[in-house]
Structure 1
Amino acid sequence: MTQSNRFKSLLEVVNHCDDFPLPGKDLKAYTARVNSLYHFKVGRDTTTLGFVLPEVASKVGRCSGWDINNKSVPKTLTLSGGHDHDSRSEIIRATMMHFKHKRTFGVLEKWRSELKPCYGPTGSVLFSIERAAFPLLGIVAYGVMLVAYTRNGQGGIEGLWVQRRSRSARTHAGLLDGTAAGGVPIRKKPFTTLMSEAEEEASFSRELVARRARACGTLSYFHTRRKEMGGEVGLLQPGVHFLYDMEVPEDVQPRSNDTNVEGFELMAPDRLKWEILAGNVKPWFALAVIDFFVRHGIIHEENERDFVEISMRLHRHLEFPVFGVSFLTNLLN
């Protein structure tokens, strides 16, 4: 492993994944960036649901059911049409289908026919939106991440089961990813999503995952889309991932069951850290691994200079409605 590293430290990796300006570190840069974007809102509610690039807002704002205000501070893009989940979702669908057919936005070339929710300030689902389209509006995406791992004879972490994404995958082709991961669709709970993704990507039975997987918190970050993600560069993508660990014995091994997964490798922590610093790991999986390292004592205050900042940065406070979001009940509104 002689390749030079892309990143000099794990904190640099965190900064790369969570790259939207932080108000606590540089308020001037944060304010300037926020005021350069359009704030996405629904109806008369003043809550900002996402940040939208000007070149996107100018096109969406001309569509039926939308209003754009270039004179307010901050500037706003408002979904003014619709009065409930279904009517708002239909306006969103018609708008995005129009742009898809016109081939206006490259990100829509990866249309998946999979709906994701947009939550309001009270946690209700305001509308559903095609998965490929949600970065255009800058709304929070919710996902799940499973890390399966084994222990050695001394009880320490022997290795993490890491998937290699297919070289022809739609995004992050060829990079390392979690044992299983995916976005949480509309009307599905995170753990149900996890079981589906583990079965689809790693051939883990639902019974195995239900018995062995353990919820261990969340990640939150604010990422700017780059070239390797496909589509428009610079779209804003805040995200929350629900994390799950699953200790497995040596005779339980993941097997590829998905065309987007090239294969799996049991990777020792030191090797995986090297891969992260080399830039060979999908951004949010890199954060998930760092969180795993923190929780399992692989990195700590005596061997990682930036331990305190890293630990705090894995749980970014997002400017959008997240605190009211609950999966206890059906919150369609």
Structure 2
Amino acid sequence: MKTNLDLVNECDNFPYYESDPEEYTRLHSTCWEFHLEGGSGPYGYIPQPVVERMPWDPNVWQIDTEKRWITPAPKRYTHTQKSVIRETLEKAKMGNIFQILRGWRNELYPVHGPYSSRKPMVSIERAGSALFGINTYGVHMTAYVNTAQGMKIWVPRRARTKQTYGGMLDNTVAGGISTGERPFDCMVREAAEEASFSEQLVRSNAKPCGTISYFHIRDARAGGEAGLLQPECQYVFDMEIGAEVVPKPGDNEVEDFYLWTVDEVKRALSEGQFKPNCAMVLLDFFIRHGILTAENEKDYVEIVSRLHRKLPFPTS
């Protein structure tokens, strides 16, 4: 059985220098930094095996072996799809070099520059984002019902055919934020697609509750190559609904929904049934609703701080 801190460690598993300088230095030394000309990078960490296999074109990529920096040539990248980054990923996809690119989405993820910048520096195909180790952004919502028996939470099971974390439990609604999309608009879209929640219901009842952030090293369950790096920031929402509102799968990503008591959710968490980042979102939900407290959780302070990791790359 997993403790709550075990769940945090499973998701936020890139080492901290302060806690384990030797392991941090070892892992960091195997990565190359992804830079953009004129920016205040790095913008991501690229693992050595990716660097060795990626079909870099030396005419449009600057590869600094001394600094271990990789930078697309100036004026050859934009925040649109027409960029050398996309061309390189398409070439890797055509050559079947990386398993992760078999899940090509035709969906762009933004790479944000300095804090004063309003537009993304560049956008990267979602399936290739972990190859560059960039910050990615998403939305997660917990829908719950207050009943005479206490709070109950709607929990979906991911389709077993999904490429990533097939068959695991998830948050009520969740999804990635595409380039140019606002977090709340993304939540409305995902809620309709995954749970058949109406736009009016979500816009009237969903409440923004901050963010969580972590730096994850992917394993085989994530689909594609293990060891890819995925720093993420998730915008968190709660939505209290009535007993008459029942989510229904709206696409092929969700197999079923369960209305569970808090104790049932806790049990599934301890059994490791939830997707790692979804466990983090639920721990944050429990803290904010006074379910997880310093009185009943010995690792409370560590858990609260680890739910909000400062990421090493510029954030939006």
Q: Same fold (TM over 0.5)?
A: yes
In the alignment, which residue of structure 1 is the partner of 2:111?
118
In the alignment, which residue of structure 2 is the partner of 1:171?
164
In the alignment, which residue of structure 2 is the partner of 1:153?
148
In the alignment, which residue of structure 1 is the partner of 2:9?
15
CA distance in 2, matches of 1:294, 1:262: 28
1:69-104 per-residue CA deviation (whole Å, 9 max, x = no partner) reads 2222xx111122426625785211111100000001
For the pair 1:55 / 2:43, whether they are aligned, the reply is no
CA distance in 2, matches of 1:271, 1:20: 29
TM-score by length of 2: 0.95
CA distance in 2, matches of 1:232, 1:83: 28
Pairs within 5 Å for 1:180-219: 180-219=173-212
For the pair 1:258 / 2:251, whether they are aligned, the reply is yes
1:141-170 per-residue CA deviation (whole Å, 9 max, x = no partner) reads 10000110011338x5x2110111111112
**SS at structure 2 position matched to 1:125:** coil
Q: Is residue 111–residue 121 contact of structure 2 (8 Å, CA) maintained in 1?
A: yes
CA distance in 1, matches of 2:245, 2:270: 28
For the pair 1:128 / 2:123, whether they are aligned, the reply is yes
CA distance in 2, matches of 1:228, 1:180: 20
Unaligned runs of 5+ in 1: 326-333
Percent identity for Structure 1 against Structure 2: 39
CA distance in 2, matches of 1:45, 1:192: 28
In the alignment, which residue of structure 1 is the partner of 2:222?
229
CA distance in 2, matches of 1:48, 1:15: 25
Q: CA RMSD in A?
A: 1.6
User: Aligned-pair distance for 1:277?
Assistant: 1.4
Counterpart code for 2:113? G
Among 15, 19, 27, the residue aligned to 2:21: 27
For the pair 1:309 / 2:302, whether they are aligned, the reply is yes
CA distance in 1, matches of 2:155, 2:23: 36
Unaligned runs of 5+ in 2: none
Q: Is residue 14–residue 287 contact of structure 1 (8 Å, CA) maintained in 2?
A: yes
TM-score by length of 1: 0.90
CA distance in 1, matches of 2:86, 2:54: 12
In the alignment, which residue of structure 1 is the partner of 2:241?
248
Among 87, 92, 101, the residue aligned to 2:85: 92
CA distance in 2, matches of 1:36, 1:260: 35
The answer to which of 102-111 and 61-70 deviates more is: 61-70
Q: Is residue 139–residue 186 contact of structure 2 (8 Å, CA) maintained in 1?
A: yes
Q: Is residue 40–residue 114 contact of structure 2 (8 Å, CA) maintained in 1?
A: no
User: Aligned-pair distance for 1:25?
Assistant: 1.2
In the alignment, which residue of structure 2 is the partner of 1:282?
275
CA shift in 2, pair 1:26/1:86, >3 Å: closer
**SS at structure 2 position matched to 1:57:** helix
In the alignment, which residue of structure 2 is the partner of 1:331?
none
**SS at structure 2 position matched to 1:215:** strand
The answer to which of 265-274 and 306-315 deviates more is: 265-274
CA shift in 2, pair 1:166/1:87, >3 Å: closer
For the pair 1:142 / 2:137, whether they are aligned, the reply is yes
Q: Is residue 119–residue 321 contact of structure 1 (8 Å, CA) maintained in 2?
A: yes
User: Aligned-pair distance for 1:46?
Assistant: 4.9
Q: Is residue 82–residue 91 contact of structure 1 (8 Å, CA) maintained in 2?
A: no
User: Aligned-pair distance for 1:30?
Assistant: 1.5
Q: Is residue 146–residue 180 contact of structure 1 (8 Å, CA) maintained in 2?
A: yes
CA distance in 2, matches of 1:98, 1:134: 15
